[in-house]
Amino acid sequence: MIDIHSHILPGVDDGSKTMEETVELLRIAQDAGTTTIVASPHSDPEYTYDPERVDELIAEAQALAGDGIKIVRGCDFHLMFANVNAAMENPKRYTINNGPYILMELSDMLIFPNTTDIWRQLENYGIRIILTHPERNLILQSKFELIEKWVNEGFYMQVTAMSLLGMFGKKALKVATRMLDKGLVHFVASDGHDAVGRPPRLDTAFEWVRQRYGGDMAELLFVDNPRAAITGAYVDSFSPDSERPRPESLWSRLFHRG
């Protein structure tokens, strides 16, 4: 499995505190079947994102963890003015593995009326939006129509593995399940922060999806689409009520819409 969202690097946000903890988190992820993990520190009003420092920490953690799991750079990108400007100046600063996809986080307090317009502007710079954990967002929990609208407009959705296990409450589970029922989920990721409360593991959630929606959907959400996000390939979608569509592999679709 491939995990595109985690906070495993030490001392850069509210995730791991030490390199020793980072190595433990990587061991947990690997033992649970994760072969590649995206280290995605926050870039928000509280935490400053430094890609050079992130690369240094990834190199150190990778050397300590060995070859059993691969670490890739990403960012948990908070939608705010300074971030958007910086991303337009250097589109690959915040994206997963220097490719087109970015993990986008929205505030629980306010969703800008022009959010879609901002995302379209970022698309003009070759950036493709993956909205992180919409099922946990307090506003989107009561505005499900926004999730549907954004998916229909070509944006992508990442659900948290622990939401499917009820660990973020009944409302998050209900919204996540409704999203899966309607084919509105493109990724499941751990958003792992620590070894006990929010571990970076996907295995239990993978089995949860496999039992309820079938092996094809589980492979798509935990393996195929996450791999595409890292390599810059086309991200597929899949409705439980229909046959799985045949993936397209046109690089130009990552940057332009026909």
175-198 pLDDT, tens digit each: 999 999 999 999 999 999 999 999
Tokens for 251?
Answer: 């690089």
Contact (Cβ atoms closer than 8 angstroms) between residue 65 and residue 23: yes
- Overall domain count for the chain: 1
Instruction: Put the strands of the sheet holding 101-105 in their side by side order.
Output: 42-43, 76-78, 101-105, 128-132, 156-160, 187-189
Classify each residue of 218-249 as buried b or exposed e, where b means 16 or more C-beta atoms within 10 Å of its C-beta. bbbbbbbbbbbbbebbebbbbeeeeebeeeee
In which band, very low, low, confident or very high, does the pLDDT at 132 lie, cut at 50, 70 and 90? very high
Q: Can you give the CATH number for the domain in which 152 is found? A: 3.20.20.140
**What's the whole-number mean pLDDT along residues 213-218?**
96
- Give residue 237's pLDDT: 79
Instruction: Report the C-alpha gap between 31 and 43 in whole angstroms.
Output: 29
- Give residue 43's pLDDT: 98
Structural domain containing residue 140: 2-254
Residue-averaged pLDDT of the chain: 93
pTM here is 0.92
Spatial CA neighbour of 191 closest among 63, 78, 82, 41: 41
In which band, very low, low, confident or very high, does the pLDDT at 243 lie, cut at 50, 70 and 90? very low
In which band, very low, low, confident or very high, does the pLDDT at 240 lie, cut at 50, 70 and 90? low
Instruction: Report the C-alpha gap between 221 and 237 in whole angstroms.
Output: 9
In which band, very low, low, confident or very high, does the pLDDT at 170 lie, cut at 50, 70 and 90? very high
- Give residue 122's pLDDT: 98
